[in-house]
Amino acid sequence: MIKRTIFSLGAAFLSMFAVNSHAAYALNLRAPATDIAGQVYGLHMLILWICIGIFILVFGLMFYSIFKHRKSVGHKAVQFHENHLLEVVWTIIPVIILAAMAYPATKTIVAMKDTSAADMSIKVTGSQWKWAYDYLDQDVKFISTLSTPQDQVHNKAEKGENYLLEVDNPLVVPVGKKVKILLTASDVIHAWWVPSFGVKQDAIPGFVRETWFRADKTGTYRGQCAELCGKAHGFMPIVVEVKEQADYDAWLSAQKDAAAAADAGADKEWTKVDLVAQGEAVYNKNCSVCHGATGAGIPPAFPAMTGSAVATGPLEGHLDIILNGKNIMPAWRDVLNDTDIAAVIAYERNALGNSTGDFIQPSAVKAAR
Amino acid sequence: MSTTTATHHDDHEDHGHPTGVMRWVASTNHKDIGTMYLWFSLFMFFFAGALALGIRAELFQPGLQFIEPENFNKLTTLHGLIMIFGAIMPAFVGFANWMIPLMIGTSDLAFPRLNNMSFWLMIPAAILLMASIFVPGGAVAGGWTMYPPLSVQNPSMGVDMTILALHILGISSIVGSINIITTILNMRAPGMSLMKMPLFVWTWLITAFLLIASMPVLAGALTMLLTDRHFGTTFFDAAGGGDPVLFQHVFWFFGHPEVYIMILPAFGLISTIIPTFARKPLFGYASMVYATSAIALLSFVVWAHHMFTTGMPVAGQLFFMYSTMLISVPTGVKVFNWIATMWKGSLTFETPMLFSVAVVLLFTIGGFSGLVLAIVPVDIQLQDTYYVVAHFHYVLFSGAAMAIMGAVYYWIPKWTGFMYDESLGKTHFWLTTIAFNITFFPMHFTGLAGMPRRIPDYALQFAEFNMISSIGAFALGVSQLLFLYIVVKTIRGGKLAGDNPWETVEGLEWTVPSPAPFHTFETPPTVK
Ligand code: HEM
Ligand SMILES: [Cu+2]
Ligand SMILES: [Cu+2]
């Protein structure tokens, strides 16, 4: 019975390896897309092979002993318990092997830390549970959040190819340029990690840390937050699109045009219906993680919007908490534009089970900043 | 508690002793207290193991099935905390209680009443930890490392209960360590010089110093966390001049010695078992003592290897990389010594030996992955991924936990007077070892391929290996029920063990009858 269990478990295990040519059974680090990631890959292989070599040698001896020096084959114990020469030798040799590993590692560390002479800089801010990208000196900034539909997460829809590794607004960078990342966080610690770039750096609230990468190939590279940051830690991926310089320039000017259009939108007069409609999208993207898609919240930590004293009380108070935040509630001042803030206010007051009937214009939000 | 109320046997020279509940509540006997520690540890092992199976059930397939993300984080956090503080550490204290007096030929620990207190402090702490699941807001969810600001942000009372529980456990450990150090240094049988002590006693002596040096540091970190949470201090909040990374430094200054606290006694157990079944003395006794001391000292200068991604200066990264790599030298010495002990022996493979050999082999795999993680550029790629989860389960499960299991088989004849069932023991061994590797080996691959740890759901390319891990985990969990069954069966009867069930074993513990009587070595033996 037990033997059979072991056997079938073993068989199941082996059968799973039988198909390991399938990409899904990835066994090793992802294909490097930067020089640093290539060095990391090489270092790992070097150390792995050294370890495998030592392992085979040492445990080869152990298994030799297990088969030859057993009582059942009549081996008599030889009573020795010291050999100073041997002991010195197996202390010295590992030191030499370690030095051989440390030398290339040291070179890579020094290279990784060199953030000088960057071609461009992007400020990245982690917050629960999204990444904000700010292209310094370019006036382009946006938020990047998970775009996998909740239905896929809750197994109500077929999962897509890039399940949990897709975002609405990827970071876009030009190929072959040294991109410096200035990293910080607004609430708790996060970590910005793109495996193919060999970059992982904690984002620490109140401090700015630097890292960099230079992608050699165009393409889309995916990573995830790598520091536990609360309930949706598994749901804040990073996607970087590396484009040819010309494509990147085109993308950049399109971003600038869109920002200008949004600014212009803030000055026009909006109807309630339009604001509520836009507000729904803003809410679902930014607020529903904490306050729930239906506005029910997760009391006591995250208050409900339905019937909330603030969201159905005076407009000033409602606007204030959204602009400036409070305790765990993030400040949205630098994250959302005037139109989006006016829209989400209109939505919260006139949907999610509330119907105060009032709303404010984007221009009023602009004035309140 | 100084006089027993139940049966009024105040005369401690008397061979009668309290019975019923009071025997345990008021016990000052190292064997009874050792037994309680071991049962406590086994219970917590099953509890934390059940939490782990919750984790593995959720990770069986991509998507959210059973456990909401908040609760998933609570599961991983409690699993880690309880395994460390509730299962592994108390098990070693249980062995220390039972075996150190028997091994050094003394009648009890130096401070029997403190010993009672050390044990009974564990109970309120365990209750606080387990009850925190049921308070509003629930248990801690920030990982066993409890980094701020996340753990300051979490409003749940469960976090405070955990902090209190860890404070209590810290006191228990410190008191216990003082007791053990005093016993070892002062109460050895005449003739037993330090360099004649069994290696298990040596490793515990060193571990006890590590505990005394590191637990107060944890207490400091936790107290600062508590005041940041409730009294408006800003040790870890940049807005008030603090620094979240400070917590990590203080925590790991405790945390790295802590991992050696969980492995050095296991080294001691292995060093006791292997010579018995090789029928020859331990190879390189003196170098084992020096290696253990070297590991203990080095363990205080490597802490920041857990923090390579926080953004340290180059000099810091290099220092902590070199010091960490250096630890593998004394660790290697130990592994070589064990194999040299087996070399040209007359080996037999009873269950304790099987476990010990597996520990040597599997712990070394964990050591190698540790070396890989010491290399800063590689660590930056692998930190906070499943590779790390694989690494520390190879050292903690197949290092510490399996050494503990092997040692239970080794000494249970002495404790109960009966032999365990050898074929069941071997079955347990093979099930555990195979299931363990099915569970944890694939995690190296998922980690390398980029799966972060502490996530309730994952991308599709990790699905296959996660399913294998989960199948292995359930097999591993169920196999441990067999362990419980074997232990209970042995206690209830079996083949008589005799004073010395292992052919050629040395050591004072085998000179007393089996089961070891309530009082032993009231007049110390003389060691030649
Ligand atoms: C039945 C056997 C076990 C299974 C199936 C198991 C499974 C797991 C898994 C899957 C995780 C990762 C959770 C995550 O990062 O998302 C984990 C974390 C952990 N485990 Fe285990 N484990 C077992 C036994 C042990 C033992 C014996 C120890 C010994 C101390 C241990 C200590 C830890 C620690 C410290 C963590 C880290 C918790 C954290 O992330 O804060 N585990 N375990
Ligand atoms: Cu995160
Ligand atoms: Cu460490």
Q: What's the confidence (pLDDT) of residue B111?
A: 95
User: Which residue is listed with tokens 């890989």?
Assistant: B372
Specify the DSSP element, H or E, that contains A260.
helix A245-267
Burial class (CB in 10 A: 0-12, 13-18, 19+), B129: buried
State whether the beta carbon of B76 lies less than 6 angstroms from ligand 1.
Answer: yes
Among all residues of chain B, which has the CA nearest to that of A202? B310
CA-based Rg of chain A, rounded to a whole angstrom?
Answer: 28
Among all residues of chain A, which has the CA nearest to that of B248? A189
One-letter amino acid for residue B27 of the chain: S
Segment 366-425 of chain B within 8 Å of chain A by CB: 368, 371-372, 375-378, 380-381, 383-385
Contact residues, chain B, for A161 at CB < 8 Å: 460
Q: What's the confidence (pLDDT) of residue B3?
A: 39
- Residue B493 CB partners (closer than 8 Å, separation 6+): B418
State whether the beta carbon of B336 lies less than 6 angstroms from ligand 1.
Answer: no
Which residues belong to CATH 1.10.760.10 in chain A? Answer: 266-368
**Percent of chain B whose pLDDT exceeds 70:** 97
Assign domain A266-368 to its CATH architecture: Orthogonal Bundle (1.10)
d(CA A293, CA A296): 8
Q: Does domain B27-261+406-511 have CATH number 3.30.428.10?
A: no
Q: Does domain A25-113 have CATH number 1.10.287.90?
A: yes
Among all residues of chain B, which has the CA nearest to that of A186? B149
- Residue B95 CB partners (closer than 8 Å, separation 6+): B34, B38, B200, B265, B269, B404, B407, B411
**pLDDT tens digit sequence for A126-156:** 999 999 999 998 889 899 999 999 889 999 9
State whether the beta carbon of B57 lies less than 6 angstroms from ligand 1.
Answer: no
Instruction: Please state the CATH superfamily assignment of the domain spanning residues A120-152+161-262 in this structure.
Output: Cupredoxins -  blue copper proteins (2.60.40.420)
Contact residues, chain B, for A54 at CB < 8 Å: 368
State whether the beta carbon of B466 lies less than 6 angstroms from ligand 1.
Answer: no
Mutate to test the pocket of ligand 1, among B76, B92, B391 (most ligand atoms within 8 A of CB): B76
Q: What's the confidence (pLDDT) of residue B16?
A: 59
Which residues belong to CATH 1.10.287.90 in chain A? Answer: 25-113
Which residue puts its alpha carbon closest to atom 32 of ligand 1? Answer: B80
Which residues belong to CATH 2.60.40.420 in chain A? Answer: 120-152+161-262
Q: What's the confidence (pLDDT) of residue A1?
A: 43
Give the mean model confidence (pLDDT) for residues B254-275.
96
Give the mean model confidence (pLDDT) for residues B241-247.
95
What CA–CA distances, in Å, run from B368 to A300, B301, B302, B395?
A: 46, 20, 17, 10
d(CA A23, CA B505): 53
* B79 catalytic residue (yes or no): yes
- Number of CB pairs, chain A paired with chain B, less than 8 A apart: 307
By three-state DSSP, how is residue A329 classified?
strand
Q: What's the confidence (pLDDT) of residue A21?
A: 37
ipTM: 0.90
Task: Tell me the average pLDDT of chain B.
Answer: 93
- What tokens appear for A10 in the block? 């073993």
Interchain CB contact of B127 with A (< 8 Å): no
What is the whole-number distance in angstroms between the Cα of residue A300 and the centre of ligand 2? 22
Is the overall model pTM greater than 0.90, yes or no? no
Interchain CB contact of B440 with A (< 8 Å): no
Interchain CB contact of B234 with A (< 8 Å): no
Q: What's the confidence (pLDDT) of residue A36?
A: 95
**pLDDT tens digit sequence for B432-467:** 999 999 999 999 999 999 999 999 999 999 999 999
**pLDDT tens digit sequence for A237-249:** 999 999 999 999 9
List B31, B280, B305, B393, catalytic entry: B305
**pLDDT tens digit sequence for B200-212:** 999 999 999 999 9
Segment 191-230 of chain B within 8 Å of chain A by CB: none
List B76, B77, B172, B203, catalytic entry: B172
Q: Which of A171-180, A313-322, B480-489 has the lowest mean pLDDT?
A: A313-322
Specify the DSSP element, H or E, that contains A193.
strand A190-194
